[in-house]
Structure 1
Amino acid sequence: MLRVLGIDACRAGWVAVELHDGAFAGAYLGLRLDELLTPADAVGIDIPLGFLETGWREADTRAAQRLGPRRSSVFRVPPRAVWQRAPYAAANALCRELTGAGLSVQAYGLRPKVLEANTWFDAGRYPLYEVHPEVSFAGLAGTTLAYPKHTWAGAHLRRRLLAAGGIDLPDELGDAGRAGPDDVLDAAAAAWSAHRIATGRGVALPDPPQLNERGQRLAIWY
């Protein structure tokens, strides 16, 4: 049996969807990422994993190109030192120094979760793969989706796409049901990508993945 997890950040912490052989097997909510990380064949997570020392990652450029009109859902991930700098004004100034462009307040707001996830990515204890849910949903649909995930039409379209891909999300998710609907859908899309990776069908953007100065593979998978 192949066991995979898809994880997305949410207001309550993190929400995870578990698949067994590609089918829904459970959903979980955790305040910390380590509450959800358990042995699995692959873990897809919607958070940047891995940094460069200077410049921008190729993965973000490729993902934005793939999404076309929905490219605004992808933000460029700045170098490692930027994430380690506080407050925002100092991080933004350093980002301009290292890349020639600034860092948005929205992206910097993810800093605690980015640092938390990369602690585990650097440790190498779990098979973590960075995913982007909109890239995953585009893979499920065979095209970029017309409706944003926060709309009624967009949410129902994404749930139908997951069901068609073998992931039938139940109405009752227990404690995980406290997460936002879009967060649950994104976690399920991350799990779909993780299952593809575990079965050898995953696609990396870029392919082959970019290597950073630490030898880590930087890519967004679906």
Structure 2
Amino acid sequence: MDVLGVDACGKQGWVGIRLTDGAYAGSLVDPRLERLIERAAEVDAIAVDMPLGLVEKGWRAADLAARALLGVRRSSVFPVAPRMAWQEQDYRAAAGRCQELTGNRLSQQTWALRPKLLEARACWLADERIHEAHPEVSFYALADGVPLVYAKKTWRGQALRRSLLAEAGLVLPDELGEADRIPVDDVLDAAAAAWSAHRIALGTANRVPEVPELDAEGRLVEIRY
């Protein structure tokens, strides 16, 4: 069983960690998500760390439920604006549309994700193997339902995350190949997404919320882990 976990990694585009039967099987880096997925060939499931399903009004229940799980790490889950806000062409218009639909404005930090969010969403709508994941929710599950105290950019945080993955059978080697020059936190996030993708393929993955909302295109708005 082959699966792929993917994380956005700045100017490099996207980083993917591939697993075979739950064990590390290689890394991929590509400026375009569609091409990265094509290069991964016939994997059984793909988990991407990026909001995919969008609601028409209000904040997504998936984000609210994930924040409730994560405690001290709740700020790692940002509220995702409704679909119409992402269709605007500039930040000012998007922030205004978000306030109209949610009661709050969209932050500039969140708006900066727009190109990759729309890229990932287009792939998701075209490929039913693709699911939304969130690394901190995956690490929460890997730690038996305990939010991680240390942030992912800290020494202790990265050591803990790598250890949790190894305990689950996902041992990241010192030499990753294509991902050797990718920031450590992005690699760990992609690996956590791959762990969730393996659970999705096995049919053992959990989701938040328990009763997902529906995207305008009819797909579930949920985070899998």
CA distance in 2, matches of 1:206, 1:175: 35
- The AA in structure 1 aligned to 2:9 is C
Question: What is the percent sequence identity of the aligned residues?
Answer: 53
CA distance in 2, matches of 1:163, 1:194: 16
Q: 1:126: Cα distance to partner? A: 4.3
Give the length in aligned residue pairs. Answer: 220
The runs of at least 4 consecutive aligned structure 1 residues that moved more than 6 Å come to none
The answer to whether the Cα contact below 8 Å between 1:43 and 1:126 also exists between their aligned partners in 2 is: no
The Cα offsets for residues 17-67 of structure 1, whole Å up to 9 and x where unpaired, read as 000000000011011001211322110100001111111110000000000
The Cα offsets for residues 81-109 of structure 1, whole Å up to 9 and x where unpaired, read as 11111211111011001111111111111
CA distance in 1, matches of 2:136, 2:215: 24
Question: What secondary structure sits across from 1:184 in the alignment?
Answer: helix
* Unaligned runs of at least 5 residues, structure 1: none
Are 1:129 and 2:131 matched, yes or no? yes
Question: What secondary structure sits across from 2:213 in the alignment?
Answer: strand
- Mapping of 1:44-193 within 5 angstroms? 44-123=47-126, 125-142=127-144, 143-193=146-196
CA distance in 1, matches of 2:78, 2:156: 24
- The AA in structure 2 aligned to 1:137 is F
Q: Which moved more, 1:178-187 or 1:35-44?
A: 35-44
Are 1:24 and 2:24 matched, yes or no? yes
What value does the CA root-mean-square deviation take over the aligned residues? 1.0
TM-score by length of 2: 0.95
Q: 1:196 aligns with which of 196, 199, 214?
A: 199
Structure-2 residue corresponding to 1:15: 15
The Cα offsets for residues 118-137 of structure 1, whole Å up to 9 and x where unpaired, read as 111122x2411101100000
CA distance in 2, matches of 1:96, 1:191: 35
* Unaligned runs of at least 5 residues, structure 2: none
CA distance in 2, matches of 1:162, 1:212: 31
CA distance in 2, matches of 1:150, 1:176: 17
